[in-house]
């Protein structure tokens, strides 16, 4: 079960962002990912050569004429044959050891290269894994420049980024195939993942460690922006939520604030300050709902709020009894939280 789930998540993630051409895991988007991809191809080449030699040897031995059956045990057939067999086995054991040493050294060199890439850290982003969503915090710039979002990481292109990875409950694993590297989020421990992205774009990721019922619905998105675009995104996210415009959205805000939503969710600039679920201050600016289980559309948001357990059974978001007017007004309010 565990191995099967990890394998299926790995295969899913490998293909997440690579619908055309190579699978995403082999289409690197930055220097660290390029190094890891290079190492992958090197391992693949060596292992393919070893496999081909083994198959050739096996074929040759099968095709070789069998010695005449003289009634003697194969073990007793002459000391010359035994000596040559000993030599062949010794040579092959030596070759195997050499191959393993070469692979170990190349992995070590790649690890060193990755460590040297780190250089000065420009930006640290804190990622916390929850069952089953990703909390994303930017707190490099002090309290005035701290913001939290969820399931979406935005970074500037060409800038070294360090992710500091924690878990709030069980072990998760952070993996965006095209940025290279995969790192576990372990309760009580902080792990790191460093990368730089070369090209602007949207990179899909996935939790890659079985972490419970909705592990497969723990998706995330990394958006790499040109620097000025990133700065615009950052300053717009820093702002508190805008006041609702229109009667329906105002009623929606009232409904939101009077319901249990506020126990778990924060909307900065309002009394809603819950810390155990995603920050909704700018929810409408994000591309997905329920850790990218659904796209960010009014219908998907309605389905999620009306019955979270139908969308994502086992998720910690409870069902809130709302009549259709309340649901519509809450949707109108949330849609304005850009």
Cβ distance to ligand CUA smaller for residue 114 or 211: 211
The count of chain residues that interact with ligand CUA, using the rule CB under 6 A, is: 9
The answer to whether residue 220 forms part of the interface with ligand CUA (CB under 6 A) is: no
Question: Least CB distance from residue 130 to ligand CUA, whole Å?
Answer: 8
Which of 33, 218, 272, 334 forms a contact with ligand CUA (CB under 6 A)? 218
Under 8 Å between Cβ of 134 and 96: no
Q: Compute the distance between CA of residue 197 and CA of residue 312 in angstroms, rounded to an integer.
A: 32
Smallest separation, CB 288 to ligand CUA (Å): 16
Write out the binding residues for ligand CUA, residues 72-111 only, by CB under 6 A. none
CB of 62 to ligand CUA, least distance (A): 46
How many whole angstroms separate alpha carbon 184 and alpha carbon 73?
55
Is the CB of 170 or the CB of 238 nearer to ligand CUA?
170
Q: Count CA atoms within 13 Å of residue 123 on its CB side.
A: 22
CA angle 125–126–130, rounded 5-degree value: 140
Pick out residues in 156-175 that bind ligand CUA (CB under 6 A).
172
Distance CA 166, CA 295 (A): 26
User: Interaction with ligand CUA in 176-215: which residues (CB under 6 A)?
Assistant: 207, 209-211, 215
Binding mask 115-134 for ligand CUA (x = CB under 6 A): --------------x--x--
CB 293, min distance to ligand CUA, A: 13
196, 159 contact by CB (below 8 A): yes
b/e map of 224-257 (b: 16 or more CB within 10 Å)? bbeeeebeebbeebbeebeebeeebbebbbebbe
**Chain residues in the site for ligand CUA (CB under 6 A):** 129, 132, 172, 207, 209-211, 215, 218
């Amino acid at each position: 079960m565990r191995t099967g789930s990890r394998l299926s998540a790995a295969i899913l993630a490998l293909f997440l962002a690579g619908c055309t051409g190579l699978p995403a895991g082999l289409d690197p988007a930055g220097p660290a990912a390029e190094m890891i991809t290079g190492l992958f191809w090197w391992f693949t080449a060596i292992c393919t050569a070893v496999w081909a030699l083994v198959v050739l040897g096996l074929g040759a031995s099968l095709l070789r004429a069998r010695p005449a059956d003289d009634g003697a045990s194969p073990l007793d057939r002459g000391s010359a044959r035994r000596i040559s067999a000993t030599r062949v086995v010794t040579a092959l054991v030596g070759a195997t050891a050499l191959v393993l040493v070469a692979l170990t050294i190349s992995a070590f060199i790649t690890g060193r290269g990755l460590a040297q890439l780190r250089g000065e850290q420009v930006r640290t982003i804190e990622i916390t894994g929850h069952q089953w969503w990703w909390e994303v915090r930017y707190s490099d710039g002090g309290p005035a420049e701290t913001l939290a979002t969820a399931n979406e990481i935005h970074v500037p292109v060409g800038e070294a980024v360090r992710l500091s990875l924690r878990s709030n409950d069980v072990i998760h694993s952070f993996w965006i195939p095209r940025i290279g590297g995969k790192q576990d989020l372990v309760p009580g421990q902080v792990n790191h993942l460093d990368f730089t992205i070369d090209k602007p774009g949207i990179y899909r990721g996935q939790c890659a460690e079985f972490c419970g019922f909705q592990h497969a619905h723990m998706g995330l998105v990394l958006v790499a922006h040109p620097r000025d675009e990133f700065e615009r995104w950052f300053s717009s996210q820093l702002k508190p939520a805008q006041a609702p415009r229109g009667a329906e959205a105002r009623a929606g805000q009232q409904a939101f604030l009077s319901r249990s939503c506020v126990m778990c969710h924060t909307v900065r600039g309002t009394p809603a300050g819950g810390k155990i679920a995603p920050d909704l201050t700018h929810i409408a600016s994000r591309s997905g709902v329920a850790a990218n289980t659904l796209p960010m559309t009014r219908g998907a948001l309605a389905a999620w709020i009306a019955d979270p357990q139908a969308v994502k059974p086992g998720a910690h978001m409870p069902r809130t009894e709302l009549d259709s007017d309340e649901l519509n007004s809450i949707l109108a309010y949330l849609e304005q939280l850009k």
